[in-house]
Structure formats: C-alpha cells, structure tokens
Amino acid sequence: MAPPWRIPEVLRRSENGPLCMEKDFDTKILFPKIKELIKEYDIKFDGETIIPSDNSLADDLWKAGLELYLHTGTLCLETSRRIMFTEEEIKEALISFPEKIVVGSGTERREVYHRDIEDRRRPFCVFSPSLPFSEELFAIVEMAYALEPLADGVGAGVLDELWGEKVRSKAPTDVAGAGAHALMIREAVRRVGRPNIYLADVQTALSDTAQISVSNPEWGVRTTDGRMVGTISELKIDWGGLNRMVNFHKCGYIIMSLFGPMVGGYAGGVEGTAIVSVATHLQGLMVNQGHLDTFFPFDINQLNNTSRNLLWMISLVYQALARNSPFLSMSNGIGAAGPCTEMVLLEAATHGLVST
C-alpha cells in the first residue's frame, strides 16, 4: 500500500488552519458554495433517468466536488480549524494511491480493485447486517452472513448489550463490548470454516478508546481486516476520528473512510449532495488517510437511499469517481422495507445495479 499522505501535516493543520466556527462553516462557506457550483456546472436530476450515461456530466461533477473541497477543506470540531489542501497536494495523493488493496489471508485472500465504467469484473462484496443485536444473537447472525459463498468479507453487527448491560459510548462497557465483539466475530467465522475472511471493522466500538483497545492481531482485529475512520456530515472530523487514523496507520491496518452525506441537510437536494459526495471521498483520502471508502448517502426524512433521486445520485457519483479517480469505494444500501419482504430484496438488487 502507498504511504499515507503526510500525517504530521494533517495534524498540524487541524491545530493551525483557518479559524472557523461550525455554524459559519455550514451556512457561510459550505452551503453558498454548493449552490454556486450546482449552477456553474448545471448539475440537475431530471426525474426520469436513473442511470445517466452522460460522461460530461460525470466529469463536471468531479470538477465541482474537487472545487468544493479546495474551497471548504475539512473542519476539525474541537479546534474550530479548517484543514485545507492545495490542488497540487490532492493530485500528488491521487497519483500515489494504490491500484488495489489485498484483504483477508490464505484461501480467503481477496483483491479490492478500482472499477472502471462498464467494468465486467465481479465486484468485491461485503455482507453486513449493520444492526444492533443482543449477546445471544450476535454470533449466530455473523455465522449466517459468513456462510454466504458470495461474501468476500463480513461486516459486523453492533453488540447492543453485554452481561445484561447496555453498551454505551465512552463508558467502560464500550471497551468491554469492543473486546467481546472482536472475539465473538472471530469465533463465528472460525465455526463456519472461514477463519481468515476479511472482517470490516468492530462497529460496536463507538469511541476512539474502544477502537484502539482491540488493535491486537493476536485476539482482536488483524492487519488484514478493515478499520473505520468516520467523518461527520458534512466535511467535518473530530479528535476521535484523528486518533483512530493515527493508531490504525501506526499498527499497519487497512483504513476504511466512512461517510454518509445527507440529502435534505446543508448539502440541499441530490444535486448538492452529489457534489459533497465527491468532496467527501477527497476528505477520506487526505484527512482520514483511507485505503477504502464506505459510502452510504441517505435521505434525512426517508432514512433510506433506494429512492429514484438517490439511485441517480449514487450512479452519477460512481461514474465520476470511476472516470476521474483511483478510489476503491464500497456502496452501502439502506432499504426502506423491513426484513423478510419482497420489497427489501428488490431495493437491494436495484441499489447493487446502480452502484456497479
């Protein structure tokens, strides 16, 4: 893997970058620039086309996202400082980005590679429940997901309780829950004969302390697994995220940048959120120092991303990234229907279609 982009410089800029209060960042820097870029690049959802094929539109979206990120940077919440980059620095990081990442080991070794427009290669698939479970059900659910032959990796549910107590962020139960999660999911994949499969993060651990506590390949998270460094919508990060980023690189982990731009928030509609989505991928590269991206845009009113307008946005964003970047981005579907319904299967299929 390519070396991270100047971690000391990222931390320095989080302390010494341009001073900006969060409200001003949202209302005076981010939102007005998005409106300007939508108009300048004529980014429009026509309501009919779900999978656009206009290459110039995809390229314009990339240019708009790059321009937005150069204008805004990333706001560090604790210091109220903007972490800013030049266009030359971003291009340097893009050029040095690896063409592929190897995850898992042994017979479960897999390559995650950049996908081009109309790429016919099979996509890398992580099967993940991403829901809270009791201690009784947690390992059983993970075993069921790991048994699926199409799974190249297994994402994690959230261990909602331990020893009959709720697992709470930043409480001692957070560290205890993270440790139990790491042990239980490792045992679950061992039981089904896939002990070396790629595991995509310990989602039970919400705090940086709990995440760092399981950075132990002997019994916890291996360096062939993924570690999440999340952003805060839109284009923000906190010290917890930066602490995780530094620790994961120090320990040699595969870092997954996690971000969910919100339709209906400060980005506006799908046009503005599409521009933010490209910018957030650039934040994942420059600040989160990610090797993989985990992208889950959603509507803040409907709380899903399988509506027509969001499917259009996801398709367009991935076309822009495929044509203009080397990014390795995984698309997360969020259905509106409940489990064991025909509709949720149709939503999953449709989301997979537009993503690939």
Domain co-membership, 186 together with 201 = yes
Q: Are residues 57 and 119 part of one domain? A: no
Residue 6 pLDDT level (bands cut at 50, 70, 90)? confident
Domain boundaries, position 112: 105-224
The answer to whether residue 3 is domain-embedded is yes
Domain identity same for 148 and 70: no
- Residue at 131 is within a domain: yes
- Residue 109 and residue 209 in one domain: yes
pLDDT at 1 exceeding the cut of 60:
no
The answer to whether residues 185 and 143 belong to one domain is yes
Please report the pLDDT score of residue 169 as a whole number: 86
CATH (domain of 256): 3.20.20.460
- Give tens-digit pLDDT for 125-141: 999 888 888 899 999 99
CA distance 46 to 57: 13
Average pLDDT over residues 79-92: 97
| Shared-domain flag, residues 98 and 47 | yes
pLDDT digit string (tens) for 307-331? 999 999 999 999 999 999 999 999 9
In the chain, the percentage of residues whose pLDDT exceeds 70 is 99
Mean pLDDT for the stretch of residues 58-72: 98
Which of 224, 242, 276 is the endpoint of a domain?
Answer: 224
pLDDT in tens, 198-222: 999 888 877 899 999 999 988 899 9
Sign, Cα dihedral of 308, 154, 203, 181? positive
Pair 20, 81: CB distance under 8 Å: yes
Give the Cβ contact number of residue 296 at 10 Å: 16
pLDDT at residue 63 greater than cutoff 90: yes
Could you tell me if 206 and 174 are in contact, meaning their C-beta atoms sit under 8 angstroms apart? yes
For residue 4, what pLDDT band results from cuts at 50, 70 and 90? low
* Per-residue pLDDT, 139: 92
Q: Kindly indicate the confidence band of residue 78, based on its pLDDT and cuts at 50, 70 and 90.
A: very high
231 close to 270: Cβ distance less than 8 angstroms: no
Residue type, 40: E
| pLDDT higher than 80, residue 345 | yes
> And the tokens for 335?
């259905």
Both 24 and 82 in one domain: the answer is: yes
Do the domain assignments include residue 351?
no
Q: Which of 204, 224, 244 is the last residue of a domain?
A: 224
Question: Is residue 334 over pLDDT 80?
Answer: yes
What pLDDT is attached to residue 2? 54
Residue pLDDT, tens place only, 261-277: 999 999 999 999 999 99
Domain contains 349:
no
The SS3 call for residue 337 is coil
Q: Which residue has the tokens 């909602």?
A: 160
- What does the pLDDT average to over 143-172? 91
Under 8 Å between Cβ of 283 and 234: no
Residues 195 and 88 occupy one common structural domain: no
Supply the pLDDT for residue 105.
95
Question: For the chain, what percent of residues have pLDDT higher than 90?
Answer: 85
User: Are 254 and 146 contained in the same domain?
Assistant: no
Q: Is residue 147 part of a domain?
A: yes
Does residue 340 sit within a domain?
no
Q: What is the mean pLDDT of the chain?
A: 94
Task: Indicate if 94 and 131 belong to the same structural domain.
Answer: no
Query: Given 224, 244, 277, which residue is the final one in a domain?
Result: 224
Q: Place 157 in a pLDDT band, splitting at 50, 70 and 90.
A: confident
- Alpha helices, DSSP H, located in the chain: 7-16, 22-24, 31-41, 55-72, 87-95, 135-146, 172-191, 208-213, 239-251, 270-286, 308-324, 342-355
Q: Are residues 231 and 91 in the same domain?
A: yes
The residues pairing with 200 across neighbouring beta strands, listed in sequence order, are 155, 226
DSSP state of 265: S
Total count of domains within the chain: 2
* pLDDT tier, 53 (very low <50, low <70, confident <90, very high otherwise): very high
Across the beta sheet with 329-331, the strand order is 126-127, 153-155, 198-200, 226-230, 254-259, 292-295, 329-331
Please check the confidence at residue 88 and state whether its pLDDT lies above 60. Answer: yes
Is-contact 214 179, C-beta < 8 A? yes
Tell me the pLDDT tens digit for each residue of 7-28.
999 999 999 999 999 999 999 9
Q: How far apart are CA 118 and CA 13, in angstroms?
A: 39
Q: Do residues 214 and 263 both lie within one domain?
A: no
Mean pLDDT of 33-54: 95
156 neighbors 201 (Cβ within 8 angstroms): yes
